[in-house]
Chains A and B, each alone.
Chain A
Amino acid sequence: MHEMSIAQSILNVVQQYAKGNDHARDGDVPKVKSIRLRIGEMAGVVPESLRFCFEVASQGTTVQGAELLVDEVPIRCRCASCNVEFSVDRFLFLCPTCGTPHVEVISGNELDVVELDLMEENDPAKEPSCQ
Chain B
Amino acid sequence: MSVVTIERKVLAKNDEIAAQNRARFEQHGIFVFNIVSSPGSGKTSILERTLERLNGKLRVAVIEGDVQTDFDAQRVARYNVPTVQIMTLGGCHLEANLVQDALKNLDLTNIQLLIIENVGNLVCPANYDLGEAMKVVVLSTTEGDDKPLKYPGMFRKASVLIINKIDLLPYVSCDLTTLKRNALQINPALKVFETSCTTKAGIDEWSDWLMQKVTS
Interface size in chain A (residues, C-beta < 8 A): 36
Question: CA A120 – CA B1 in complex, angstroms?
Answer: 6
- Can you identify 5 A-B contacts, CB atoms within 8 angstroms? A21-B4, A37-B10, A91-B149, A113-B6, A120-B1
Q: CB-CB < 8 A to B3: which residues of A?
A: 115-118
**Residue in contact with B10 in the complex, picked from A6, A17, A23, A93, CB distance below 8 Å:** A6
Q: CB-CB < 8 A to B10: which residues of A?
A: 6, 9-10, 13, 37, 111-113
A44 at the interface (CB under 8 A from B): yes
Question: Using a CB–CB distance below 8 Å, which chain A residues touch chain B?
Answer: 1-2, 5-6, 9-10, 12-13, 17, 21, 23, 33, 37, 42-45, 90-94, 101-102, 105, 111-120, 123
Name the residue of chain B whose CB is nearest to the CB of A45.
Answer: B127
B11 at the interface (CB under 8 A from A): yes
Evaluate contact between A13 and B152: CB separation under 8 angstroms: no
Question: CA A1 – CA B128 in complex, angstroms?
Answer: 13
Evaluate contact between A5 and B8: CB separation under 8 angstroms: no
Question: CA A23 – CA B6 in complex, angstroms?
Answer: 13
Whole-angstrom distance from the CB of B73 to the nearest CB of chain A? Answer: 23
B57 at the interface (CB under 8 A from A): no
Q: CB-CB < 8 A to A33: which residues of B?
A: 1
Q: Known A5-B91, A44-B123; judge A93-B12 contact (CB<8 A).
A: no
Evaluate contact between A117 and B2: CB separation under 8 angstroms: yes
Q: CB-CB < 8 A to A91: which residues of B?
A: 149, 152, 156, 185-186
Evaluate contact between B187 and A2: CB separation under 8 angstroms: no
